[in-house]
């Protein structure tokens, strides 16, 4: 199975690392031979139809910050969507940064691959939050697989879980913590009694929050994930603008102390149902499924037969997100057998 990987930041490098670690096991267990034949970042590409060395790709990027400096097979004049025209591949792994304004370049990359009858696995949220129905319809029309488990909750299994493990149940609603950065900040404010400003600065110093934390702390990231879950699990035809959003930047240490005194925690909760699409701070009971700490994500699925089912997992991280991508890639490969 020949992989074309576009986007070689933390997630893309995590995918290369995961394939390096697991390709022999995947070959033995599933009879799927994974081979990265093309990789692109902003500098250009590395292309080898016989397969690129995953560890050398990571080493080249680490030392030079340019995948185009890959020995012998680096190419500075080909990048992004151009790579899809020159490399022979079976599945596009799309790992470019999320763009909530236009969904690009993920949207164009995805549509190009689908039109060319190639399967697609993505970790991106932007194009899904803006153009979910268009992308899904295009994939169905071209009879290709389009998978996106990694776009919601990193390593937390939820989309595949709901479809493969709960097919007998109707899922009526979903509520959960879908952003690890805000959960870390609120958890630290609760345990340390620190202010929002100080805790945000701490999370930035630790690399948990971005230099510009807006997408996380204002609820934008969680809202994108809510759209994806609404569409993919609850069959709600919605887009990003349909979500009511309130972030955590106005949460004070005094509010957290008061909630704690009464046996509650404050968490940024996504509520997803046909009647309610919202991301906002909520009071949750201590020792409830919502009391997870640090960068963990969680979601409770309310079902008609199985009752409430809760999933928990790491919501971010290079290898953690790559694990979800690799699961999708394996499932694509298994579907071809």
Known catalytic residue at 23: no
The CA distance from 186 to 208, in Å, is 13
CA distances from 1 to 56, 60, 86, 249, 264 (A): 20, 24, 17, 45, 49
- Residue 246 CA to residue 269 CA, distance in Å, equals 10
* Cα 91 to Cα 333: distance, rounded to the nearest angstrom: 9
Nearest partner of 93 among 154, 146, 27, judged by Cα: 146
CB 254 within 8 A of CB 189: no
Q: Residue with structure tokens 């240490």?
A: 253
Identify the H or E element spanning 244.
strand 244-245
Tokens in use for 214?
């807006």
State residue 231 phi and psi, 5-degree precision.
-70, -50
Catalytic residue (choose from 225, 267, 278, 314): 225
Show which residues are catalytic: 225
């Amino acid at each position: 199975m020949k992989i074309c990987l576009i986007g070689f930041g933390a997630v893309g490098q995590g995918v290369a690392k995961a394939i390096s670690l697991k390709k022999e096991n995947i070959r033995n267990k599933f009879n799927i031979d994974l081979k990265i034949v093309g990789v692109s970042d902003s500098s250009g590409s590395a292309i080898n139809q016989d397969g690129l060395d995953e560890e050398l790709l990571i080493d080249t990027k680490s030392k030079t910050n340019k995948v185009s400096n890959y020995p012998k097979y680096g190419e500075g004049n080909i990048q992004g969507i151009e790579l899809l025209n020159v490399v022979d591949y079976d599945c596009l792994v799309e790992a470019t940064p999320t763009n909530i304004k236009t969904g690009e370049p993920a949207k164009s990359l995805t549509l190009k691959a689908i039109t060319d009858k190639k399967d697609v696995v993505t970790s991106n949220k932007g194009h899904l939050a803006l153009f979910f129905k268009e992308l899904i319809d295009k994939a169905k029309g071209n009879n290709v697989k389009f998978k996106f488990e990694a776009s919601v909750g990193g390593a937390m299994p939820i989309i595949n879980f709901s479809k493969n493990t709960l097919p007998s149940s109707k899922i009526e609603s979903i509520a959960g913590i879908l952003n690890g950065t805000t959960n870390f900040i609120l958890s630290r404010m609760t345990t340390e009694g620190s202010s929002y400003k100080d805790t945000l600065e701490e999370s930035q110093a630790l690399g948990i929050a971005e230099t510009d934390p807006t997408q996380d702390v204002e609820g934008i990231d969680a809202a994108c994930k809510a759209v994806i879950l609404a569409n993919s699990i609850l069959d709600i035809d919605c887009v990003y603008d349909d979500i009511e959003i309130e972030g955590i930047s106005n949460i004070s240490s005094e509010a957290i102390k008061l909630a704690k005194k009464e046996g509650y925690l404050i968490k940024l909760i996504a509520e997803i149902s046909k009647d309610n699409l919202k991301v906002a701070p909520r009071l949750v009971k201590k020792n409830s499924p919502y009391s997870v700490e640090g960068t963990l994500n969680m979601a409770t699925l309310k079902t008609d037969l199985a009752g409430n089912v809760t999933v928990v997992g790491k919501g971010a991280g290079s290898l953690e997100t790559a694990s979800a991508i690799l699961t999708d890639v394996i499932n694509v490969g298994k579907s071809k057998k």
